[in-house]
């Protein structure tokens, strides 16, 4: 597979996502994942999400009407149900993210797979190999609409369940995830940890594929 391409034009069903729409569509989809969550982001920061469990002792917002918890707590629950979790990122995670990750030994121990590539600038979230966000938002509260109005970034993206588009983006993601570009990368000398040196060859079998002929069913390449 080449990473330099332009696909032919064709009709694609999609939704335009802006502002708080990122939270209502992307984050809500992530927290309802059944099989997999793949994230591609340049910046990786702690992200607080609304906690509808209404448990005592949960961190509350300044408004005093809603409670919040880390997205990592929600991901830990997904991992316990067997959901595959991946984040491909370009920079070292923020200090609050690292501190919260340490509070979840399951995620820190490998249930949340993290791989760093300094050249990653794409932003995507793929849920269950069936729904994809592709746009400008990084995996941050300001990017994905978790912050209040007047504090979040101005972001724009699309949401789609188009099978061929999902396949194309996932194939590119998988190539980067498994270090397929490491051998010819001109930044290898300054890369803190080349993916190819750590990525197991078997990882290529984990691709999630969409099948247009069977709704959102997954198939392996």
**Which domain covers residue 88, as residue numbers?**
15-214
**Is 5 within a domain?**
no
**Is 220 within a domain?**
no
Counted domains in the chain = 1
**Is 52 within a domain?**
yes
CATH of residue 31's domain is 3.30.870.10
Spatial distance between the Cα atoms of 105 and 80, rounded to a whole number of angstroms: 12
**Is 191 within a domain?**
yes
For the stretch 123-159, pLDDT in tens is 999 999 999 999 999 999 999 988 888 888 999 999 9
Cα torsion at 20, 21, 27, 30 (round to 10°)?
Answer: 180
Helix axes 95-102, 71-80, angle to 10 degrees: 40
For the stretch 32-87, pLDDT in tens is 999 999 999 999 999 999 987 655 554 544 445 568 999 999 999 999 999 999 99
Concatenated DSSP letters for 97-147?
A: HHHHHHT-HHIIIIIEEEEE-TT----EEEETTTEEEEES--BSTTTTT-S
**Is 37 within a domain?**
yes
**pLDDT at residue 193 is higher than 60:** yes
**Is 2 within a domain?**
no
Q: Taking the model in full, what pTM does it have? A: 0.85
Indicate the pLDDT class of residue 29, thresholds 50, 70 and 90.
Answer: very high
**Is 4 within a domain?**
no
Cα torsion at 187, 192, 193, 195 (round to 10°)?
Answer: -40
Spatial distance between the Cα atoms of 195 and 92, rounded to a whole number of angstroms: 14
**Is 210 within a domain?**
yes
For the stretch 169-179, pLDDT in tens is 999 999 999 99
């Amino acid at each position: 597979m080449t990473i330099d391409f332009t696909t032919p034009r064709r009709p694609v069903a999609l939704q335009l996502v802006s502002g708080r729409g990122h939270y209502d569509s992307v984050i809500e989809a992530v927290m309802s994942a059944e099989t997999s969550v793949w994230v591609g982001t340049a910046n990786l920061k702690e992200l607080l999400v609304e906690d509808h469990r209404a448990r005592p002792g949960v961190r509350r917002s300044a408004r005093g009407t809603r409670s919040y918890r880390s997205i990592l707590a929600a991901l830990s629950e997904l991992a316990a149900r067997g959901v595959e979790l991946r984040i491909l990122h370009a920079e070292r995670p923020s200090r609050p993210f690292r501190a919260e990750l340490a509070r979840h030994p399951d995620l820190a121990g490998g249930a949340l797979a993290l791989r760093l590539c300094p050249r990653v600038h794409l932003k995507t979230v793929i849920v269950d190999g069936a729904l994809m966000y592709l746009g400008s938002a990084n995996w941050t509260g300001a990017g994905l609409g978790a912050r209040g109005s007047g504090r979040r970034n101005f972001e724009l993206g699309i949401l789609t369940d188009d099978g061929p588009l999902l396949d194309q983006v996932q194939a590119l993601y998988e190539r980067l995830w498994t270090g397929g570009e490491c051998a010819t990368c001109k930044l290898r000398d300054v890369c803190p940890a080349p993916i190819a040196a750590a990525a197991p060859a078997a990882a290529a079998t984990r691709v999630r594929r969409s099948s247009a002929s069977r709704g959102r069913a997954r198939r392996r390449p």
